[in-house]
């Protein structure tokens, strides 16, 4: 099959399109014919090999363990393993193909990928493959932040910082679906997206500082993490909860990568099965 392959860590220049063997499915896996795969910050982390700590967490020191990037996939089931029972050939599915922690390549940037069946769900017919492939990792981080760690309740006031981005737009929708009153903060050009996601109120981060409006929130989901927690505390009720998803400036900073992002992402992913 054809696949995007990375033989070393680096910029996008290390990626090559070439023929490799089609994966063999394990007993409880299914072979997915890939129709769409998405890109998010963790894909970038494994492409660059930064922060360096991910290399000693199983991604390998000189080159990634799995050479084919991509963790989020949508496609059609092509074949099933001997003990896989949930899907049949022809089913349209989406899910996560990464194994272990999220700093491994998952193999989605290829014509076919073998995925554990428990990591897949049926694709709703009203979603395109592209839409479905954009959901898994960003949606999971938002779910963990809003529901698991944030413990959102109906009627609570929730602020999502970075509300127009990958994680934030899911966080707004999940908080709204839980009955919260949601304020979304992002740069001006993202505010239409934030409103469309369901935010009751929006704040243009380039003109207004959400920590200094006097408003208090029961839950702040801070996606970029671009403000000190001490400042965010000003906008919390006395019993409010602050959830940090990432940090501003992830990417290839020389020598360091994004340790702060790594720490916060790891903590926000602590409950992943």
Ligand X SMILES: NC(=O)c1ccc[n+]([C@@H]2O[C@H](COP(=O)([O-])OP(=O)(O)OC[C@H]3O[C@@H](n4cnc5c(N)ncnc54)[C@H](OP(=O)(O)O)[C@@H]3O)[C@@H](O)[C@H]2O)c1
* Cβ atoms 52, 98 nearer than 8 A: no
* C-alpha to C-alpha distance for 107 and 70, rounded to whole angstroms: 5
Among 6, 34, 41, 199, binds ligand X (CB under 6 A): 41
Footprint of ligand X on residues 135-154 (CB under 6 A)? 137-138, 141
Nearer to ligand X among residue 158 and residue 223 (C-beta): 223
Beta strands 181-186 and 157-161: pairing type? Answer: parallel
Peptide bond into 177 cis (omega under 30): no
* C-alpha to C-alpha distance for 92 and 229, rounded to whole angstroms: 42
Q: Does 162 bind ligand X (CB under 6 A)?
A: yes
Q: How far is CA 171 from the centre of its chain?
A: 11
* C-alpha to C-alpha distance for 205 and 56, rounded to whole angstroms: 37
Nearer to ligand X among residue 4 and residue 135 (C-beta): 135
Nearer to ligand X among residue 79 and residue 176 (C-beta): 176
* Cβ atoms 247, 260 nearer than 8 A: yes
Q: Does 223 bind ligand X (CB under 6 A)?
A: yes
What binding mask, one character per residue, do residues 78-97 give for ligand X by CB under 6 A, x or -?
--------------------
Nearer to ligand X among residue 77 and residue 193 (C-beta): 193
* Cβ atoms 219, 245 nearer than 8 A: no
For residue 202, what are the β-bridge partners? Answer: 184
Among 30, 36, 191, 205, binds ligand X (CB under 6 A): 205
Among 64, 75, 168, 240, binds ligand X (CB under 6 A): 168
Residue 25: phi, psi to the nearest 5? -80, 140
**Count of residues interacting with ligand X (CB under 6 A):** 27
Q: Does 226 bind ligand X (CB under 6 A)?
A: yes
Other CB atoms within 10 Å distance of the CB of residue 147:
15
Q: Does 42 bind ligand X (CB under 6 A)?
A: yes
Nearer to ligand X among residue 85 and residue 273 (C-beta): 273
Find the shortest distance in angstroms from Cβ 37 to ligand X. 13
For binding to ligand X (CB under 6 A), which residues are involved?
A: 40-42, 137-138, 141, 161-162, 164-168, 185-187, 190, 205, 223-224, 226, 245-247, 250, 261, 265
């Amino acid at each position: 099959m054809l696949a995007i392959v990375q033989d070393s860590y680096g910029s996008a220049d290390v990626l090559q399109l070439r023929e490799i063997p089609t994966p063999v499915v394990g007993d409880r896996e299914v072979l997915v014919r890939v129709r769409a795969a998405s890109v998010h910050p963790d894909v970038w982390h494994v492409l660059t090999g930064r922060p360096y700590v991910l290399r000693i967490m199983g991604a390998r020191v000189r080159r990634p363990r799995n050479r084919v990037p991509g963790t989020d996939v949508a496609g059609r089931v092509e074949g099933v393993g001997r003990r896989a029972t949930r899907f049949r050939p022809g089913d349209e599915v989406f899910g996560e193909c990464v194994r272990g922690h999220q700093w491994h390549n998952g193999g989605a940037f290829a014509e076919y990928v073998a995925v554990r069946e428990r990591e897949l769900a049926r694709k709703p017919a009203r979603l395109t493959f592209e839409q479905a492939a954009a959901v898994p990792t960003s949606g999971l981080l938002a779910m963990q932040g809003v529901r698991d760690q944030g413990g959102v309740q109906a009627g609570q006031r929730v602020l999502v910082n970075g509300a127009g981005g990958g994680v934030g737009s899911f966080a707004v929708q999940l908080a709204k679906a839980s009955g919260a009153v949601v304020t979304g903060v992002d740069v001006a050009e993202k505010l239409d997206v934030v409103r469309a996601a369901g935010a009751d109120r929006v704040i243009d981060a380039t003109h207004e500082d959400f920590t200094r409006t006097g408003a208090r929130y029961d839950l702040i989901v801070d996606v970029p993490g671009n403000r000190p927690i001490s400042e965010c505390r000003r906008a919390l009720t006395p019993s409010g909860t602050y959830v940090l998803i990432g940090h501003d400036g992830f990417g290839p900073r020389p020598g360091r990568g994004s340790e702060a992002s790594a720490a916060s992402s790891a903590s926000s992913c602590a409950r992943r099965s």
